[in-house]
């Protein structure tokens, strides 16, 4: 795939450990009042469950859902992306016997998709390959911008072009070039590395949720 990051030889980081790095990326789903996801039927064999990266976009979807389902009691729930994936996998296992499947598109900001597309087109990636391979864009730098984590120095992947741009602006001297890839390529890079070398930068909604939780505890 043209969207792949730098290839590395040996599999060293367990997939489960890599997926846990998605815990700083909350996704917003339509759920019941008890927090059970509410997928929308699409034909006979598919159920649609969008995962929104921005709470405001999920709230718009909730408004639309409530107009067409006035009696349904629904709300927007924030769930870490790795946990959301686990729940959907569990639900799909139960639905398999009925020949049904939940499809979970991750819906981010259009501006991030546009920026990622522009970066990849500039690198010579065809529009067709971008359409096939880019669903959830992530941004990184060449060379990688690093942070000092509790476990040591780590290279950073960003879900927001704005965050990646601000990080580049904070670097003294020559500014690192912003690159783009799909989140699946970032996870593959994390898994393929011989060492645990990368982290995802928390999204702005993650910080908002932490602030809200902190306010409720005080």
Fold exhibited by the domain 24-107: Trna Endonuclease; Chain: A, domain 1 (3.40.1350)
Report, as an integer, the average pLDDT of 57-83. 92
Altogether, the residues listed in the chain come to a count of: 218
Stronger pLDDT, 143 or 212, i.e. the higher one: 143
Confidence band for 97, pLDDT divided at 50, 70 and 90: confident
Report pLDDT digits (tens) over 146-194: 999 888 899 999 999 999 999 999 988 888 999 999 999 999 999 988 8
Q: Is the pLDDT of residue 86 over 80?
A: yes
- CB 155, CB 196: distance < 8 Å: no
Residue 69: what pLDDT?
86
- Fold match, 15-22+108-217 / 24-107: yes
Q: Where are the domains of the chain?
A: 15-22+108-217, 24-107
Q: Is the pLDDT of residue 106 over 60?
A: yes
Average pLDDT, the chain: 88
Q: Given CATH 3.90.1300.10, say whether it is the number of domain 15-22+108-217.
A: no
Give whole-number Cα distances, 107 to 29, 137, 143, 200, in Å. 11, 10, 28, 18
Residue 8: what pLDDT?
37
Half-sphere exposure at residue 28, Cβ-oriented, CA atoms within 13 angstroms: 20
């Amino acid at each position: 795939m043209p969207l792949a990051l730098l290839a590395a030889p040996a599999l060293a980081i367990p997939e489960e450990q890599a997926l846990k790095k998605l815990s700083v990326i909350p996704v917003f789903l339509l759920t019941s009042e008890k927090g059970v996801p509410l997928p929308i039927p699409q034909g006979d064999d598919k159920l649609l469950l969008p995962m929104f990266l921005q709470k405001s976009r999920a709230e718009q979807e909730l408004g639309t859902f409530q107009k067409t389902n006035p009696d349904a009691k629904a709300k927007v729930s924030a769930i870490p992306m790795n946990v959301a994936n686990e729940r959907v996998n569990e639900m799909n296992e139960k639905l398999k016997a009925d020949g049904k499947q939940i499809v979970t598109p991750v819906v981010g900001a259009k501006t991030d998709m546009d920026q990622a597309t522009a970066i990849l087109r500039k690198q010579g990636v065809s529009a067709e390959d971008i359409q096939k391979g880019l669903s959830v864009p992530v941004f990184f730098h060449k060379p990688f911008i690093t942070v000092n984590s509790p476990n040591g120095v780590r290279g950073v992947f960003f879900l927001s072009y704005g965050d990646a741009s601000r990080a580049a602006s904070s670097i003294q001297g020559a500014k690192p070039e912003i690159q783009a890839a799909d989140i699946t390529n970032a996870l593959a890079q994390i898994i393929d590395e011989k060492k645990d070398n990368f982290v995802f930068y928390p999204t702005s909604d993650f910080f908002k949720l932490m602030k809200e939780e902190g306010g409720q505890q005080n």
